[in-house]
Every structure is written in structure tokens, then in C-alpha cells.
Amino acid sequence: MSMLQRLRVVTFVLLLAAVALVGAACAQPAGQQPAAQQPAAQAPTEPPAQAEPTAEMAAEGLSGTIKVGCAHALSGPIALYGEPIQNGIMLAAEEINNQGYLGDATLEIICEDTAGDKAQSINAFQKLINQDDVVAILGPTLSNSAFAADPVAQEAKIPVLGSSNTATGITDMGNYVFRDSLPESDVIPNTIQVTRDKLGYDKVAVMYGNDDQFTKSGYDVFKATLDGQGVEILTTETFAKGDTDFSAQLTKIKSLEPQAIVVSALAEEAANIMVQARQLGITEDVRFIGGNGFNSPKLAEIAGDAAEGAISGAAWSIADQSQENQDFIQAYRDKYGSDPDQFAAQSYTATWLMAKAIKDANSTDPAAIRDALGQIRDFPSPLGTFSFDENRNPVHAPVVLVVHNGEFEVFE
Amino acid sequence: MFWQQVVNGIWLGAVYSLFALGYTLIFGILDILNLAHGAVFMWGAFFGLLTVTRVDMPIWIALPVAMLVSGGLGILLDRVAFKPLRERDAPHLAPIISSIGASTILISLAQAQFGAQVSRFPPDTFPTRIYNIGSVSVTLLQLVIFVIAIIMMVALRAFIQRSKTGKAMRAVAYSERISALLGIDVDRIIVGTFFVSSALAGAAGVLLGLAFSAISPFMGGPVELKGLTVIILGGLGNIEGAMVAGFLLAITEVLSVAYVSSDFRDAIAFTVLFIVLLVRPAGIFGQALVKKA
């Protein structure tokens, strides 16, 4: 028997053992079935058909635990967004492992807290890369943190996939930096186009948080789009993170009589702005229009009636009826007892994308994973049919939502 | 628009003053800059919220309950974070550091308990009623909070000036040692001061939680910074000073948004603070009122 033949026999035996193990594992958790089956449905033929040839090609294949880092804000004010993000990652990892998506290898998610802070984000990345030897990193939460920490991953040649970084220039940091969060530059022009066609406004007031990369870059895109469409901006009002009183700005806006108010803010602040605007007597036909930040169940929950009619451009919709999305929402509700938001949908998708890249690469080599990640096209996900473009930015259709009876619906 | 902005400013001023009252009280009497005041304020909001949502009580019961429980939390804070330092005659900076630690612990506990997300009182907790007088709109809630803030200030001042405990507090503020020699139970006065200050913080937490629908473990941070500005501007430890400075800061902020630009709001407000301190280094009202015994 030649060396090669012997290797084949060993591989075959190993493969048999693996199949038996996976079979046994699948048979055990009966309760997991509905959720666990969903993303597998997109490629039902894959596991049995592909396992044999790939295992033969690369003798080492995939086995043991594959460590993937998760660097998100789990404490401090930004944990508000870090928590659903981590929930999405953990849900996806559980599904990936339960259905044996990676053959006999399992995904181990190692979480580090960035606290939404630049220095802590850098520390988290360094620990994940140097101490934990992760093959890839999911995170960080804020664009601000990404600008600080992603270069660490780039230098170490570890792929990093952000699921909530939407500021301009994130992926320009290097060829190992990816994101699956549709930037505001894709979402906002679509929102303005669609709402202007329906509502026909040409004089608006603009409000934004001027001490945050996300809301600032949202404002820049709003301004460019409004200018481009010939919409007059009557006034531009700013506020700071943590502000709760907006009555001075809103009083000024009211006196200028805009037809709509464009807001680049996160849901909690936006909700307060809406409540106070209605209290000051800004009438309901003056609609609020916002970007990704509006798209949270918190908006209607906090603002109550004042949120009615608010329009949100978004990368993801809880109202989208695709199978992947409905399965995701159901699984999330079952596990966490609440509705997912866009951050959870994007981090869930990011984890699946990473698993797909590892599987496609059939390797735990970060460079191979990076190459496979960049090759992903038309992946069915809760966000829709997902692809990366050549600049490692996401490509999928944005949506426009409107609050109706306290729930987001597709704006038509 | 001008009158609406003045109303906005008065309303915001009531908010700042309400928070600053208890803050300045502890400083005036005990010489402690209690940086955990914002955390007690936050817990007050949560105590109120829990009383309304879990025990199903109306807001006018939840407010005193939250004040009592916050007061108790204040006493606990003193026993754990300040008393051991006092007994050891620790240097002046130690209580500040200790209060930062206490603040971090209280915020982390709240986050562990309630999560990081923002909560609000149920919408029907307080009736939404809006009054339009000419071109000016005011909500019933704003009026009520303004009135409560004024009542609390007047009551606190009367308490310090007239009551026996208040007089003892002023004596302690003057000198703990002499007060002890005169037979004042200094420890009891300190406990009382922490109770009153923290109860005021709890009341502010509930009222602002109601007003802004933004109750979260981190709600104390931004208010604390503004509160610190207010008590410095008013003269550290000065109750009327804090009240007047609260309105002054708020009206400056509102008018700079209205007539300059919201970009410069904080810059203008802090420039005013800077100028006042140049002219009157001890704040508008100079020396601490409680110490003028």
C-alpha cells in the first residue's frame, strides 16, 4: 500500500466515524429541530455530497473547535446595542454547531468586552489574536472603535467582520476588513427617493447627533442626498449623546414650518425627539424620516403614539416574510423571549457568513477564510440575498419602513 | 418663538436644579463631592418604575416610595463608602475616589438587573395634557415638575434654617468637632444629610424618568455633569445658588440654541461658567449658605 492509499483509507474511516457522530448528535436534541433546520435549507445537498471530496482534497479538513472572536460592547451605555449583537452571534453559533454545518468541527465563540471604547477595543482585539489564537473576529460594535481596532486585525492578517459599522471608509482600512451592515450611503438615498415620491416634500429641517461617527456620517449622506434632489434644508440642529431635552431645537424647527423632519439619531434619542415635537405642537403631517438608527422596536415602544407615521430607512425589516427571516425571528424569540432588532439580524448573518467562509475554505487558515469570505455571493439570509462586493462591503436591497399601530411595516 | 424658548429654559432649569439640590447639600454640609449622586438618582428612577410596573401603584405613591428607598440607599452608601474613610481621617481626595467606585458598582448592578436598554413608565402613568397659551405650549407634567422643584427647594431651605436638625446640620458644616463637643450626635446628622440628599436625588430620578421616558442605568452621567456645573456656578454648598444657577445655565443653553446654533450650545454655556468664575471665583452666591450659620 502506498502512502497515499493508506492516507485515503484512514481518511475514509475517519469520515465514517464523523458521520456516525454527527448523526448521533442530531438525534439527541429533538426540541431544536425547527430553528436548526433553517439556513441548512438553502443548501440541502451540501453536507453529504461535498464532505467526501473536500475531505480527500485537504487531508487535515476541519475538526476540533474553531475559535472565532467576538469583540462587542457588553458594558457601558453602548451595551444597549452590544447585547442584541451578542445574542445574534450566539444564536447563529448554536445553530451552526447543532446542525453540524462545519462537519465534525465546532465553532467556539470567544467574547471580549470593548465597552464601546477605542482603547478597550484595541485590547480586546489584541487578546483575541495573540492569546486566544482566533481565526477571525466578529465586531466591533461602533464605527469609532472599528477605526481604532481593525488595523490591529489587518496587521495580524486576521479577517474581521463588522455587523454594525456603517460609517464611511470602514473597509478602506485594509483587505482583511469586511462588514455586512449596509452603510448609510446605500440606505439613505433610497429612503429619500421613495418617501419623496410618495409625500412630495421640498422643505425639511434636519437634526443629528454631532458627537458620534454613526449619526454624523448619516447626516452627511442625508445632506448630500437632499441637496442633490433640490430639497431645501431650513435649519440644521444638533444635539449630543445622552441629551434628553430637545425642546429648544424643536421650538426653532416649529417656527420654520418644515414639511418633514429628517433625523440622524439612534432610536432612544429619536423617540424622545418625536414625543417632545408632538408636545410642542408640531403636527402629525410633519413626518419624521430617519436612517438605520430608527429601525428598532424601541422606537415605538418609547415614543408610543408619537412614533406613528415615522419613516425609517433600513437594512433589515422584521416585516420581511422570507423563510430565512421568519425562521430567524422565531428562533430569536424562542431563545431570548423578545423581538430581534436590526443589530441582531446583522450579527446573526455575520456569524453565518463566517461559518460559510470557513466551510468553503475548508481550512482554518485566516488568509484562506478571508479569500472565501470575499467570494460569497447570493447567500440567503435574514437580510435578503447577500453578497460581498469587491470592496468587502455588503450588497443587498435596502427597505423603507413606516410605524403603523406601533409596528414597523413596509412603506408603500 | 421667544416665549416658548423661555418656557423651555425655565422647565429645563427646574430639571437641573432638582438634580443639583441634593448634590450641593452633601457638599455644603459634609465637604464631600459625592460623585455617586447620579447613580442614586438613576436607582430612584428604577425604584419608581418598579413600584408602578411590578406593584401596580399610581405615580403619586411611587414617588414617595422611591424617595424613601433612595434615602435608604444613601445611608448605605455613607456606611460603606464614606464612614470608614471618615473614621480613618483619610485625605480629602479619598471620598471622591470612593464615590466614583460606588457609582460604578451601582451602575453595574443596575445593568445586571435591568439590562442596558432604555425603559419608560407606562404611557398612562401620568395624563398627557397639553396647554396652549397663545403660541406657547406647556404640558401638565412640566408644570407639575416645576412646582414640585420649587416646593422642594423652599422646604429644604426652611428645614435647614428653622428645624432643630437643620440647625444641627449647619453646626456640623461649620465644625464637626465643635458640634460634637456641644452634644450634637454628628453621626446621626451625617446619616440624616445622606438620607435627605439621596431622597431628593430619587425624586429627581422619578420625575425626570417620567418627563423624558429615558430610564437606563446610564441616565445619571449627562445630568451629573450639568449638575456639577450648576453647583459650582451657584457656589458650592449653596442651595439657592444651585437653584438660580440651574435656571441660568438652562436659559443660556436654550437661547444659544435659538439664536446662535445648537453646535455651540455647550460651548456658550461653559463660557458663561468660565466668565462667572473669573469674576466671582466662589460662584454667584459666594460662600456656602449652610456654613454662614
Strands (E), A73-113: 104-113
Asked whether the beta carbons of residue B5 and residue A272 sit closer than 8 angstroms, the reply is no
Report pLDDT for B291. Answer: 56
When computed from its CA atoms, the radius of gyration of chain B, rounded to whole angstroms, is 19
Asked whether the beta carbons of residue B117 and residue A76 sit closer than 8 angstroms, the reply is no
Q: Which amino acid makes up residue B175?
A: S
Q: Which of A125-139, A306-320, B209-223, B230-244 has the highest mean pLDDT?
A: A125-139
β partners of residue A204: A233, A260
Q: Is A256 on the interface with B (CB under 8 A)?
A: no
Phi, psi of A2 (to 5 degrees): -75, 165
Phi, psi of B139 (to 5 degrees): -95, 155
| Minimum Cα–Cα distance from A239: chain B residue | B262
Using the structure block, give the residue that is written with the C-alpha cell 438652562: B250
Q: What is the DSSP letter of A230?
A: T
Cell of A91: 444564536
Asked whether the beta carbons of residue A281 and residue B258 sit closer than 8 angstroms, the reply is no
Report pLDDT for A355. Answer: 96
Q: Which of A87, A142, A302, A339 is the best substitution to test chain B (most B C-beta atoms within 10 A)?
A: A302
Q: Give the residues of chain B that fall short of pLDDT 50.
A: 293
Which range has the worst mean pLDDT, A133-137, A148-152, A299-303, A389-393?
A: A299-303
Cβ atoms of A344 and A85 within 8 Å: the answer is yes
Q: Is B104 on the interface with A (CB under 8 A)?
A: no
| Minimum Cα–Cα distance from B137: chain A residue | A280
Report pLDDT for B290. Answer: 54
Arithmetic mean of pLDDT, A8-37: 42
**Closest-CA residue to A212 (of A77, A342, A314, A310):** A77
Question: With 50 as the cut, is the pLDDT of residue A32 above it?
Answer: no
Report pLDDT for A45. Answer: 38
pLDDT in tens, A206-233: 999 988 778 888 899 999 999 998 999 9
User: For residue A154, what pLDDT band results from cuts at 50, 70 and 90?
Assistant: very high
Q: Is A242 on the interface with B (CB under 8 A)?
A: yes
Asked whether the beta carbons of residue B213 and residue A302 sit closer than 8 angstroms, the reply is yes
Using the structure block, give the residue that is written with the C-alpha cell 415602544: A301
Distance in angstroms between the alpha carbons of the first and the last residue of chain A: 69
Share of chain A above pLDDT 90, in %: 58
Q: Is A83 on the interface with B (CB under 8 A)?
A: yes
| CB contact set of A24 (below 8 Å; sequence gap of 6+) | none
B121 vs A131, higher pLDDT: A131
ipTM, two decimals, is 0.83
Cell of B61: 405613591
Chain B residues in contact with A298 (beta carbon < 8 A): 117-118
**Closest-CA residue to A336 (of A38, A32, A87):** A87
pLDDT in tens, B186-242: 889 999 999 999 999 999 999 989 888 889 999 998 888 889 889 888 887 888 888
Asked whether the beta carbons of residue A83 and residue B117 sit closer than 8 angstroms, the reply is yes
User: For residue A267, what pLDDT band results from cuts at 50, 70 and 90?
Assistant: confident
Question: With 80 as the cut, is the pLDDT of residue A305 above it?
Answer: yes
Distance CA B176, CA A237 (A): 50
- To the question of pTM greater than 0.90 for the whole model, the response is no
Chain B residues in contact with A78 (beta carbon < 8 A): 116
**Closest-CA residue to B82 (of B103, B71, B96, B68):** B96
Cell of A76: 457601558
Report pLDDT for A55. Answer: 38
What is the rounded average pLDDT for all residues in chain A? 85
**Closest-CA residue to B249 (of B230, B262, B228):** B230
- Angstrom CA distances, A345 to A144, A166, A287, A314, A317, stand at 21, 15, 27, 12, 9
CB-based burial, A137-154: b 16+ in 10 Å, e otherwise: bbbbbbbbbbbbbbbbbb
Arithmetic mean of pLDDT, A131-160: 95
Q: Which of A80, A113, A296 is the best substitution to test chain B (most B C-beta atoms within 10 A)?
A: A80
Question: With 60 as the cut, is the pLDDT of residue A47 above it?
Answer: no
- Angstrom CA distances, A85 to A79, A153, A168, A212, B172, stand at 9, 20, 21, 19, 52
Distance CA A311, CA A225 (A): 16
| Minimum Cα–Cα distance from B112: chain A residue | A75
Arithmetic mean of pLDDT, A197-201: 89
Report pLDDT for B68. Answer: 96
Chain A residues in contact with B208 (beta carbon < 8 A): 244
Distance CA B268, CA B281 (A): 19
CA distance A124 to chain B (A): 20
> What residues of chain B, 121 to 180, have a C-beta less than 8 Å from chain A?
123, 130, 132, 137, 139
Report pLDDT for A261. Answer: 95
Chain A residues in contact with B116 (beta carbon < 8 A): 76-80, 82-83
**Closest-CA residue to A201 (of A133, A140, A287, A141):** A287
> What residues of chain A, 198 to 217, have a C-beta less than 8 Å from chain B?
210
Q: Which amino acid makes up residue B143?
A: L
3-state secondary structure of A276: helix
Identify the H or E element spanning B7: helix B2-30
| Number of CB atoms found within 10 A of residue B151's CB | 10
Q: Is B5 on the interface with A (CB under 8 A)?
A: yes
3-state secondary structure of A303: helix
Chain B residues in contact with A272 (beta carbon < 8 A): 212-214
Question: With 60 as the cut, is the pLDDT of residue A379 above it?
Answer: yes
Q: Is B252 on the interface with A (CB under 8 A)?
A: no
pLDDT in tens, A165-178: 988 889 999 999 99
Asked whether the beta carbons of residue A248 and residue B137 sit closer than 8 angstroms, the reply is no
Report pLDDT for A22. Answer: 43
Question: With 70 as the cut, is the pLDDT of residue A36 above it?
Answer: no
Asked whether the beta carbons of residue B12 and residue A245 sit closer than 8 angstroms, the reply is yes
User: Side by side, which strands form the sheet with A260-264?
Assistant: A232-239, A203-209, A260-264, A287-290, A311-314, A399-404, A407-410
Selecting from A80, A279, A298 the residue whose C-beta is nearest the C-beta of B130 gives A279
Asked whether the beta carbons of residue B216 and residue A75 sit closer than 8 angstroms, the reply is no
Q: Is B218 on the interface with A (CB under 8 A)?
A: yes
